[in-house]
Amino acid sequence: MKPRPIVIAHRGASGYLPEHTLAGKALALGMGADYLEQDVVATKDHELVVFHDLTLEPMTDVQARYPGRARADGRFYCIDFSLEEIRSLNVVERRAAEGQGSRYPGRFPEAAGHFGIPTLEEEIRFIEGLMRSTGRHVGIYPEIKSPAWHREQGVDIGPMMLEILARFGYRTANDPIFLQCFEAEELQRLRREHGCQLRLVQLIDSNSGNVSAGTLARIGGYANAIGPAISLIYRGMAGSMATLTSLVDDAHAEGLAVHPYTFRKDDLPAGFSDFDSLLNLFLAQIGVDGIFTDFPDLATACIARHFPA
């Protein structure tokens, strides 16, 4: 019997509430998620906040509140705003593009809530509070966003994250945390130069082509898991049969767990007409070790069917 996979609430229960809001994290915990994700970026005064993008305009009212504060490219960078300014913004559902409606129109309506951007510390304290009040345990799954870019802007966010995480008790491979990043150099640096003992996850984007055995062996030298795009595992349907790559088996052969992203009911890969079929394929047939999903309730329900307690 395969081990029970974990459910990682991708930016919270983001299928139901705007991403990276504390409300969305609370809902994800209530829905039975095993891990809650934090994307981490820096402010102008070098505070770390939980927000996905380097720029604020796709998910906040920054353009209306701070006109004239965009860079030459027309974008409003988090790193150009103080924490106090960022605290004053209202977070809304992700927009499809400038001046357009929601990227996922069936999700939480734009005018129906008031949400802020938390700091990493505030979010960890909030999760600690939820664990205490509910008696449920949940892990955290922070991502270091664009660390090389942040260093160019004068802030080294990876070591800053390690310091905060250690302060909250996340120090070893036995602690309920995975630390993720797309940049291999950053994970290697934290492991080798900063003595990081946390479980590390090498994210791999959909443009990476075939991930070779050599690449996986190198990743196995510093990381504990990979977080590949779904398309690096599932290539499409041939008739009624899914065409799969050997990535999951190859990673397992290197001792790497596999946590693919992102499972969305309202954004299915080609060849799927319902979310349960996609979940069944990955969780029950392929046997991945966890998934990033915007819909943690549906993933936990699928796992409960296939992995009875």
Q: Which stretch binds Ca ion (CB under 5 A): 68-76, 135-143, 148-156, 299-307?
A: 135-143
Q: 141-173 burial, b if ≥16 CB within 10 A, otherwise e?
A: bbbbbbbeebeebebebbbbbbebbeebebbee
Size of interface with Ca ion, in residues (CB under 5 A): 2
Nearest-approach distance from CB 119 to Ca ion, in angstroms: 17
CB of 227 to Ca ion, least distance (A): 8
The residue ranges of DSSP E strands in 43-161, in sequence order, are 48-50, 139-144
Cβ distance to Ca ion smaller for residue 242 or 288: 288
Which residue, judged by CB position, is nearest to Ca ion in the bound state? Answer: 143
Q: Using CB atoms within 10 A of its CB, is residue 122 exposed (0-12), middle (13-18) or buried (19+)? A: middle
Q: 297: part of which helix (H) or strand (E)?
A: helix 296-306
Please choose, out of 20-28, 56-64, 139-147, 152-160, the segment that lies near Ca ion by the rule CB under 5 A. Answer: 139-147
Candidates 17-25, 37-45, 168-176, 294-302: pick the segment binding Ca ion (CB under 5 A).
37-45
Provide the minimum distance between the beta carbon of 54 and Ca ion in the complex, in angstroms, as a whole number. Answer: 12
Amino acid identity for residue 160 in this structure: M
Q: Residue 281 — φ and ψ, nearest 5°?
A: -60, -50
Q: Tell me whether residue 170 or residue 250 sits nearer to Ca ion (CB atom).
A: 170
**Nearest CB to Ca ion, comparing residues 8 and 302:** 8
Q: Which is nearer to Ca ion, 107 or 259 (CB)?
A: 259
Determine, following the binding rule CB under 5 A, whether residue 143 of this chain makes contact with Ca ion: yes
CB of 158 to Ca ion, least distance (A): 15
Q: How would you classify the pairing of strands 6-9 and 139-144?
A: unpaired
Give CA separation, 145 vs 103, 156, 180, 282, 299, in Å. 21, 11, 9, 26, 25
- Of 35-43, 222-230, 246-254, 275-283: span binding Ca ion (CB under 5 A): 35-43
Q: Which of residues 97-116 bind Ca ion (CB under 5 A)?
A: none
Output DSSP code: residue 261. B
- How many residues does the structure list for the chain? 309
Q: How far apart are the first and last CA of the chain?
A: 13
Question: Which range touches Ca ion (CB under 5 A), out of 91-99, 104-112, 141-149, 220-228?
Answer: 141-149
Smallest distance from Ca ion to CB 199, Å: 16
- Contacts (CB under 5 A) with Ca ion, residues 180-209: none
Output 164 or 229, the one with its CB closest to Ca ion.
229
Give phi and psi for 124, each to the nearest 5: -65, -40
Neighbours of 140 (CB within 10 A): 23
Catalytic sites, residue numbers: 10, 52
Shortest Cβ 198–Ca ion spacing (Å): 16
Give the ranges where 11-146 is alpha helix by DSSP (H). 22-30, 62-65, 83-87, 120-134
Q: Any contact of residue 39 with Ca ion (CB under 5 A)? A: yes
Q: In terms of CB distance, is 144 or 219 closer to Ca ion?
A: 144
The DSSP code for 208 is: G
Residues lying near Ca ion in the complex (CB under 5 A): 39, 143
